[in-house]
Structure 1
Amino acid sequence: MSLPFSGTSLPVLSANQRGILAMLGAMALFTVNDALVKLTAASLPASQIMTIRGGFAIAFMMALILASGAWRSLRALASPIVALRGCAEMIIGVSYVSAIAYMALGEIVSVVQATPLILTALSVPFLGEKVGWRRWAAVLTGFAGVLLILRPGISGFNMAALLALGTAVFMAIRDLMTLRISPLIPALVVGLGSTLGSFSGGLLLTPFMPWGMPSSGDVARLAIAAVALVFGNWCMVIACRGVDLPTVSPFRYSVVLWALLLGFLIWGDVPDTFALLGTGLIVGSGIYTIHRENRLRARAATTAPVVQSPPGTR
C-alpha cells in the first residue's frame, strides 16, 4: 500500500500481527474499564455502577447491532444457552464490581487470569476431556499463584478476595456455555445478552445497595467505561478470527501489565514480592496451558474445519 505523493509504502499486517495488536488493544480497553469502575466505586455502590454502565453499553451495542444488520438475530437472546450465559455474566458482574473497590487493580486482574486454568479443570467433568499430568501440574501451579496473591489466613484475605476467585470460576463456566452457542449467532448479539445480564444484576442488587446521587464525573466515567468495554469485546472478536490462536492467545496476559501500570499511576499500588511471584505463576501456567491444549488439538485435528466460538465478554 503506497502513500499518496510519496514513494514510500506501508507494510501490510499479517493476520497474526493484526490479531496480536487487536488482543493487546482489547486487554488495554478492558483495563481502562476496570480502572474507571474502581474510581467510581469510591462514591457509588456496585448496583448503581452496573446499572448505569450497563445502560450506556446496551444503547451503544444496539446502535452497532442496527448498523451491522445483526438485529435479524436478536431473537437468539431468548435461546436458553444465551440466556444462561447472560445469568453467568450477571454473577460475574456482581462479584467483580463488588470486589474491585477493595482490591488493588493488579491483584484482582491477576486472580481473574486463573480462568483458563479453572476452565481446564472443569472441562473434565463437563466436557469429558482427558487432562494429562502436565496440564494438571500447570493448574495446581496457577492456583498456588492465586494463594500467594490472596494469602489465606493473612489480614489481606477477605470477602473481596473470595469474590475475585468466584469471578474467575464463573468466567470459566461462562466460557463453557459459549462453546454450546451456535456460531451462526453474531458475536454482537451474544455480547448484548451478556450486557443485559450485567445490567439486570445491577437492578437486582438495588434494594440491598441503595443508590446515591452520581456526580457528572461519575456518569462520564461510566459512559467511557461502557465504550471501552464494547470496543474491547469487538477487538476480541478481531483477535480470535482468522488467526493462529496459539500465537495470539498468550497476549491476553498483557492485561496484567496494563493493570499493574494503571494501578501504580492512579493509586500508587506497588505489589509485594509474594504478589509478583503469584502473578508470574498464574501467567506462566496459563500460557503453558494454552500452548499445551493447542498442541493436543493440532495433534488430534482432522480434515474437518474448526469453528471458533464467540469470545467471552467482560
Structure 2
Amino acid sequence: MSTTLAPQQERPLYAIGIVLFTYFFFTLCDTAAKWLVLSGIPPLETAFMRYLVQLAFMAGLTLPRAGLSAFRTQRPVQQVARALALLGMTAFNFFAVLYLPLTITSTIMFGIPLLITALSVPFLGEQVGWRRWTAVVVGFTGILIIVQPWGAEFHWAVIFSLCCTLSGSIYYIFTRKLAKTETTVSMQLYGGLVGAVLLLPFAAANWVWPDAFWTWVAFFGVGLAAMTGHQIAIIAHRFAPASTLAPFGYTQIIWMSLSSWLIFAQPPDIWLFVGAPIVVGSGLYIWLRERKLAKATVRPVTTADADLPVEEKAAVKPQPA
C-alpha cells in the first residue's frame, strides 16, 4: 500500500462505482456493532475494537516498508481534528444502535448533507442562500417525523444519533480538505491511532470477552468493515468531488433496512416511509442547487453570488462507525 499521495483526478464514473461499496461496508460495520452491544459488549469497547483493528491492520501493511514516515502529514492539527470527529461519530452511533433500529440511526445520519450546509458558514466562511436554508429546515422536519419526539415511543437515544450526525458532518468537511494534501494511509493511521488511544482506558475499565462464534466474528469484523469503507471513501474522493458522490450515499438505506429486518427483526415503520423521502429529497435538492451554482464559479464573483457553494463543503453520506 503506497504512502505516496496520489494526485486528484476527475474520473467520476469510477468514483461512483467504488463509492457504492463504501455504504455496504458501513452497513456491515453498524450491523457488527449492534450485534456486539446486544451481546453484552460495552459500546465503548466495541468502538475501541473498531479503531484498534484499523490501526493494527494499517500499521502491519505500511510500517514495515515505510516506517514512521507513514505518519508524515502537512496538516497535523486537521488530521487530529478529523480523527476526533470520526471518534465522536463512531461512539455516538454505537450507543444509539444499542437502543434504536438501524433504519432509524441511518436515516437520521442522512441529515449530514443538511448539517454540512449549515456548518459551511462558520467552518468555511460561506454564505448560504435562502433556498438551501429552506432545504435544511425541510430536511430536519423529515427527521422529526421519523423520530416522533412528541410520541410515546420516542426514545432518548435519538440524541446520540443527532450527535453522531453533527460529528459526521465535521468529519466529512475535514476529509475533503485533507484529501488534497494527505495520503490515504496517513488518514487511516491517524484515525485509528487517535481513536484507539483515547478509548483504551474506557474499554479496559469494563472489558468483556465475546462468548460465541458470531460475536467473535463481529468483534474483529467491526474494525475491518469500517476501515475498508473509509479506505474506499477516501480513494473515491480523489476521483470526484463530494458533490458528485453525495446522492449515492442514500443507497445505504437499502442495506440498512435489509440488515435491520433480516438480522434483528426490526422492520421499518410507517413514519420512516413518510420522513425518509423528505430527508433524502432535501439532501438531493441541496446537491442539485450546488451543482447548478458551481458552474457560476468560472465568472468573477459579484454580490449576486451570495449563494455560491464551496466545493469542499459539499456533502457525502457517511455512516460509522
Q: Residue 84 of structure 2 corresponds to which residue in structure 1?
A: 87
Shift of 1:119: 0.8
Shift of 1:244: 6.3
Which segment drifts farther, 281-290 or 179-188?
179-188
Alignment of 1:199-278 (within 5 A): 199-206=196-203, 210-215=206-211, 217=213, 218-243=215-240, 246-278=243-275
Alignment of 1:161-200 (within 5 A): 161-178=158-175, 180-181=177-178, 183-200=180-197
Determine helix, strand or coil for the equivalent of 2:99.
Answer: coil
Q: Is residue 312 of structure 2 the alignment partner of residue 283 of structure 1?
A: no
Alignment of 1:88-167 (within 5 A): 88-167=85-164
Gaps of 5+ in 2: 1-9, 301-309
Determine helix, strand or coil for the equivalent of 1:76.
Answer: coil
Distance 2:133 2:17 in 1: 31
Distance 2:176 2:11 in 1: 23
Shift of 1:274: 1.3
4+ residue stretches of structure 1 with deviation over 6 A? 306-309
Shift of 1:155: 3.1
Determine helix, strand or coil for the equivalent of 1:226.
Answer: helix
Counterpart of 2:173, as a letter, is L
Shift of 1:73: 4.2
Query: Residue 295 of structure 2 is aligned with which of 273, 295, 298?
Result: 298
Distance 1:179 1:300 in 2: 19
CA contact (8 A) 1:47 1:211 kept: no
Determine helix, strand or coil for the equivalent of 1:241.
Answer: helix
Q: Structure 2 vs 1, CA of residues 81 and 247 (structure 1 numbering), >3 Å: closer, same or farther?
A: closer
Please report the TM-score for the alignment, with normalisation by the length of structure 2.
0.82
Percent identity (aligned): 27
Q: Residue 26 of structure 2 corresponds to which residue in structure 1?
A: 30
Distance 2:187 2:102 in 1: 27
Q: Structure 2 vs 1, CA of residues 236 and 157 (structure 1 numbering), >3 Å: closer, same or farther?
A: same
Gaps of 5+ in 1: 1-13
Distance 1:71 1:292 in 2: 43
Distance 2:14 2:173 in 1: 26
CA contact (8 A) 1:65 1:189 kept: no
Q: Is residue 12 of structure 2 the alignment partner of residue 16 of structure 1?
A: yes
CA contact (8 A) 1:93 1:198 kept: no
Counterpart of 1:276, as a letter, is F
Distance 2:287 2:26 in 1: 21
Q: Structure 2 vs 1, CA of residues 84 and 155 (structure 1 numbering), >3 Å: closer, same or farther?
A: same
Q: Structure 2 vs 1, CA of residues 180 and 231 (structure 1 numbering), >3 Å: closer, same or farther?
A: closer
Distance 1:253 1:247 in 2: 13
Query: Residue 52 of structure 2 is aligned with which of 55, 78, 93?
Result: 55
Shift of 1:49: 0.9
Shift of 1:294: 2.4
Counterpart of 2:226, as a letter, is L
